[in-house]
Amino acid sequence: MYNNYLLILLTLLFNFFICAYSKEIKNDNYIVGILRNENDKNYDDVSINIQKEIDEFINDKMNDIYNIIKENKDTYGKDDEKLNELNSIQFNKRSNETEKLLFINKRLKSNHNSVLSSEFSKSSKGSKVEYIPIESTLVNHICPISNYYAINVYLSDETAKIVRNMKNVIFCEKSINLKSTIPKPLKHKEKRNNYSNINNNDINNNDINNNDINNNDNDDNDNDDNNSKLYYNINAIKKETQWSDVSVQEISYTPNHLSLLSQSPLVNKNKTIDFNFYYPSSAGKGIDIYLIDQGLYSNHEDFNRYEGTEDERTITCDAIVKDNDVYITKDDEEERYQCSGDDDYPYHGTMVSSMAGGTLYGVSKKANIHMIGINVNTLSTLKSLDYILLHGKPHKTVISISIGFYFYDKALDDKLTDLINKGFIIVTGAGNDENNYCVDKYSDHFFSFQGYRKSIVVGAIDTELNGDGYTKSFYSNYGNCVDIFAPGLVTFPYNEYGSTTDVNTLEGTSCATPIVAGIIASIMSEHPEIKFNNESMRKTLIEMSIKDKILFPNLDDTKDTPNRFVNNGKRSIYYPDNVNIQCGKSSNNNNNNGICSEGCCTKDGECISFENHPDDKCFIENGCQSEFGYCTTKEKSIEECENEIKENEECLIEISLDLTIDDIITQCNTFNSQKCQIFYQNQFSNRSICSIAKEFKQFKKYDDFDFNKYNNNKNICNDHFGTDIIKCKKHITSFNDCILEEELFDDFNNTEIDELKENKYFVETCGSIKSDKCEKFYKNIEEEILSYPSCSIINKLQKINISKYFDDVSVDYTLNNYKILSSKCDNIIDLSVKIENCNKELEEYKDCFLNMPNNTTTDDELTENCYTFINPNCYNLYYDYKSVLPNCHYAQQFQNFTLLNNLPEITNTYMDICKYNPPKNIKAKFISDCRSYLIDEKCIFDYNFEMTNEELIQKCEIYTKECTNNYLNQYLNIPGCRLVEDKDVIHEFYFSKSKIKDNKHLCMSMKGNDNDIHEVNNLCEIELERYKICNLNTNKEFINENNLKSNCINFLNEECQAFYKNPFKNIPYCHYAMKNNFRNIEIFDKSNEKYKYYEEICLSNNSTIISTTSSIISTDATPTSSPTSTTKKTTTIKKTTTTKKENTTKKETTTKKTTITKKTNTTKKTTSTKKITTTKKTKTTTIKKTISTKKTTTTKKTTSTKKTNTTKKTTSTKKTNTTKKTTSTKKTNTTKKTTSTKKTISTKKTTSTKKTISTKKNKN
């Protein structure tokens, strides 16, 4: 597939409920995170007293923000009606009272029955705070998240800047208003005559088994006529699945997504496929499935509530969330069963509800369905998640989300963590961009919710059973964060116009996601004793999945994508043709005298096929009844398997592209032969005796030929010759010019001669039938077609059916009339005129004609020739020259034109070199040139902090002039881009799209455009998020011992240290925003006052943090956990500055080189590179500061006493078993003569004499 895809991608987000940014407005809702104290726990997990303290603190902050809005209301513009609220509040401040707003919080507390306090009171020396209750649209509560509280604030760009820099505000993110771009359903269908051939009663009769066979108490398969005709074995399914009971839904609708979930994909294509859906009879009963989507219309037969029965369940719209407004539908009968979050018909929401728990089209038919209808934006999604947190039941709730956002949102990320930690299971879609979006949150390719790597992520496969596995749907995203795949094309209820029976079809990972949610619900209902959480359910799904049976066609980078298809527990295969499931003398199988249709008759009278894994039940020694079916022995099964392998040994091949074309063709013919295909199908679907024998003996060549090798062979045989197939088809269709159309021939006969002389089609047709090519075609059609190499190759693989391209009637008509028309052409057309006109045509296209490449043609020349060839004007010449040069086409049959002599050969050659099969180096050049265009620095320039305003203005002038919105749409005019595949430039395409947008905001913000200034600030926010751990501007009152340790680890982190050294190199957009006064940011760097605080604390010898931080920032020392012998060479430069009160400055510079060999016992792994700053105080008010850089693999335990009335004690985890005596003498240049003696009491004995003007010497 070539470049069409990217153009489509610009306008279509294929079949997934994805969203696009709505038009920007100046003022908008922002999600603001407020942190009271870093030590706070989640609001819902603390006592009511702590909650009241947090309530009061958040309320105070909301008052502060409200005051900011009041003081800066002019920044909102004149016509913003939301600000009218400011005029409705009257304050009556008394001398001894302070009035504040009490922002009413409608959110219930999760662990207390009381509602949030309606009044706070605070007394201090006779003063009192009076609270005025308000339900504000400008400032209101959202919900607690993690250890902070999120509020919704209506802000202008200017007030957003102020709020971002408020104390205790940890983020201020715009709630992205999104416009849904859901594609219309694929097709609309009215209700079929029936959905099932069995028990298809009226759906409204409250009978859950209206189209199911519910096999309660069916342990003996019942001895009635109906069950004697069943082709599946309920008891066997129970044993296989361990379900408490089995229900069966017979399905006649297509696409049939359900039947794939309860059988192996390796079905026998030569038999009637079983389209039943088998599922546990508990069917999700007692489990709540919450869906966050458009909404739900539940007036359809698919949404049976089974009212009045023991299986009665809930199917409701629980709430409608629009921005921050949560409307609970409990008392609204109409909205409770028919709701929409965006005021349109919610077919997407109806579809996901059906897939999860619909009676006819859903998986968990007894589960409770709860829809949260939203107008899709981050705010409404966040409120929906919080609603579920408050109302859902942990370990009994599944949340299905089939929407996605192309950006990272911290609040959503943290809220997912809250829900998962509480025991909720969350399932989300992978998305439909045919891309790998498993990237970090800073990437331009981030996509939620899969990017958070927390939920269970679902990809899509084609909804079909073809006998040799599944195929990944072309649109489905992939990558290592996709946990499992499920059917992507589904049938669902469509009730837009009130019908309770109509259906439609839709395709996407949106459809696959609720299917997995439904399977999860059925697993939970079957195991009520297990408290599943998100992680344990992920593992369960993986364990139950069908592995390594998904094909990923045309994708090279899917090796890290888990190859797993969801399965509900049943993998056994049954066929409607095989109605004999019981056997033996005592069976009810009267139709065939108790004999099995296939497989063996076990001791218990059960017909069991090889593909359903009989193990040793088919052995005569285990009671197999040979007179009623196949039976064998262990030894005989091994012998039969060996014979089968020997007979099909030619099929056990591994085809390689290193072989010659002829060898590949030969092997592919063998591979595709009916004999080998049957052999393969029998092996992989366990229909061979080897499926039994391999349990008792290894068959090396047979065992080595696995499903992956089969798929490799299949891909080579199908895909490797794809180019030849295309070229052959093109060659065959080129003979269409030789076929005469009866209607056109009659027109020629009825047209005046003078008109025919100038008739383009007449001249063109005459040129064709007189060509050598057509003359050969008329003589022997098959021979002429197969003379073309690609057709010869394809014919060897599979005989070409020529009648498929040319029907016998047309061929007979042509052969009977072409000579008549040829004679007519000679009589009417003036050859000299055509020759003259031909020369004119050739002159017009002279720049397009290429020479045949040869051994001396360089790669650069080939590339340029390809660019000429693919030029739209020239490509038409090569692709259909007879239409472009009709006069030449005719004249060429009578006169030689050098330029036209080899045109067909040149066309085929360059078509092959440039388009179909370019050499690697040539293809690399195409890709490189296309990428160069896509990342042209004129439009894709990077702003950096060293760029002057003049330089930026100059770049923006070029950008504005040359980089219009159509810049990317024009990329197909670039020759290199016309010759590459989409996947080769997809990342550059998206990068360019993003960068052009960023640069547009940058350039337009220089003109004072508020929207673009806002976007530049958003870019700055993204930059700051990356270095969030490096920002240690936290007030000291928030810092405790744990915080300090964590902060020091971050402070000493190499990336943070690089940031401190030159912050604006890493945050250029923030630099630009600050330089232009778009916002004020306190940058934590080396000039920051708090940097010096952390430098002193984190690098101090007296700090207990050092042992922790040193191991974090280590680079190349070797950790040890057992006694080791280490040879260590250390070079230390030690600089000591001592200042005394006596106005004496002592500067000591020492270069010390030590070689130590020591054996060390240690109990703690330590690898460290330490930079230590030490401050010592003595009674003589001496301050001694030492900066030492030391590389070590040891941590020492030392107790030392210095005689200057100062005692220093250091304890670490390393114990040194060595006695070491060191004598050292130091040389010091100082203004004062000083003598000191230092004595150390430890396992290491050191004597050090320090005096002026001396030389230090070490002995070890």
Does position 371 have pLDDT exceeding 90, yes or no? yes
Would residue 805 count as lying in a domain?
no
Residue 183 lies in a domain: no
Confidence of residue 969 (pLDDT cuts 50, 70, 90): low
Alpha-carbon distance of 915 to 530, in angstroms, equals: 58
212 is catalytic: no
Which residues, in sequence order, are CB contacts of 152 under 8 Å at separation 6+?
Answer: 29, 30, 31, 32, 139, 140, 141, 142, 175, 323, 324, 379
For 214, other C-beta atoms within 10 Å of its C-beta total: 16
Residue 1097 identity: I
At residue 916, does pLDDT exceed 90? no
Cα 145 from chain centroid (whole Å): 25
Instruction: State the pLDDT at residue 582.
Output: 82
Separation of first and last alpha carbons in the chain: 73
Single out the residue of 760, 756, 655, 667 nearest to residue 708, CA to CA: 655
Q: Are strands 1229-1230 and 1206-1210 parallel, antiparallel or unpaired?
A: unpaired
- Domain endpoint, select from 720, 748, 778: 720
Do 965 and 937 belong to one domain? yes
Q: How many domains does the chain have?
A: 8
Q: Looking at residue 1152, what is its pLDDT? A: 38
Give the global pTM: 0.65
Q: Which of 348, 370, 395, 1001 is catalytic?
A: 348
Report residue 695 as tokens.
């349990």
Annotated catalytic residue within 28, 293, 413, 433: 293
Q: Which residue has the higher pLDDT, 96 or 987?
A: 987
pLDDT score of 677: 87
Does the pLDDT at position 30 exceed 90?
A: yes
Q: Is the pLDDT of residue 1041 over 70?
A: no
User: Between these two residues, 1224 and 1077, which has the higher pLDDT value?
Assistant: 1077
What per-residue confidence (pLDDT) applies to 558?
61
Range 1152-1160 average pLDDT: 37
> Bigger pLDDT: 451 or 1223?
451
Q: Quote the pLDDT of residue 396.
A: 97
CA distance 1117 to 1192: 7
Beta-bridge partners for 607: 601
Catalytic residue among 136, 510, 545, 587: 510
Examine residue 13 and state whether it is found in any structural domain, yes or no: no
Task: Determine the Cα–Cα distance for residues 983 and 991; give it in Å rounded to an integer.
Answer: 14
The residues near 3 (Cβ < 8 Å, ≥ 6 apart) are 972, 977, 978, 980, 982
Is 763 within the bounds of a domain? no
Burial class of residue 129 in the structure, from the number of CB atoms within 10 Å of its CB (0-12 exposed, 13-18 middle, 19+ buried): middle
Active site residue 293: yes
Q: 527 and 407, same structural domain?
A: yes
What is the maximum span of the chain, computed from C-alpha positions, in angstroms? 127
| 226 and 366 part of one domain | yes
The model's confidence at residue 412, banded by pLDDT at 50, 70 and 90, is: very high
1036 and 983: one domain? no
Q: Do 332 and 472 belong together in one domain? A: yes
Q: 512 and 487 in contact (C-beta within 8 Å)?
A: yes
**Interval 937-967: pLDDT, tens:** 778 888 888 888 889 988 888 888 877 656 6
CATH number of the domain enclosing 259: 3.40.50.200
Q: What is the mean pLDDT of residues 811-825?
A: 92
Q: Which pLDDT does position 776 carry in this prediction?
A: 92
Q: What is the DSSP letter of 1252?
A: S
Asked, for residue 1048, whether it belongs to a domain, the answer is: yes
Least confident of 417-421, 701-705, 1014-1018: 701-705
**pLDDT level of residue 1216 (50, 70, 90 thresholds):** very low
Per-residue pLDDT at 136: 94
Calculate mean pLDDT across residues 285-309. 96
Share above pLDDT 70 across residues of the chain, in percent, rounded to a whole number: 77
Residues 304 and 437 in one domain: yes
pLDDT at residue 192 tops 50: no
620 located within any domain: yes
Domain-embedded: residue 36 = yes
Gap between the Cα atoms of 591 and 631, Å rounded: 21
For residues 1125 and 980, membership in a common domain is answered with no
- Mark whether 1196 and 1163 lie in a shared domain: yes
**Whether 680 and 561 share a structural domain:** no
Residue 92 is part of which domain span?
Answer: 23-176
Residue ending a domain, choose from 665, 689, 720: 720
The CA-based angle 129-133-138, given to 5 degrees, is 110
Q: Confidence band (pLDDT; 50, 70, 90) for 393?
A: very high
Is 510 one of the annotated active-site residues of the chain?
Answer: yes
Residues 167 and 44 in one domain: yes
Q: Tell me the one-letter amino acid at 360.
A: L
Same domain flag for 297 and 378: yes
Average pLDDT over residues 645-674: 89
pLDDT in tens, 699-723: 887 888 887 788 888 888 877 787 7
Residue 184 in any domain: the answer is no
pLDDT digits (tens, 9 = 90+) for 440-449: 887 777 888 8
| Same domain for 1207 and 1103 | yes
Instruction: Examine the pLDDT at 920 and tell me if it is beyond 70.
Output: yes
On the question of pLDDT at 1207 being above 80, the answer is: no
Query: What number is the average pLDDT over the span 614-625?
Result: 89
Q: Which two tokens stand for residue 207?
A: 């009978």
The helix/strand/coil state of 613 is coil
Q: What is the pLDDT of residue 519?
A: 98
Residue that is last in its domain, among 1093, 1126, 1145: 1093
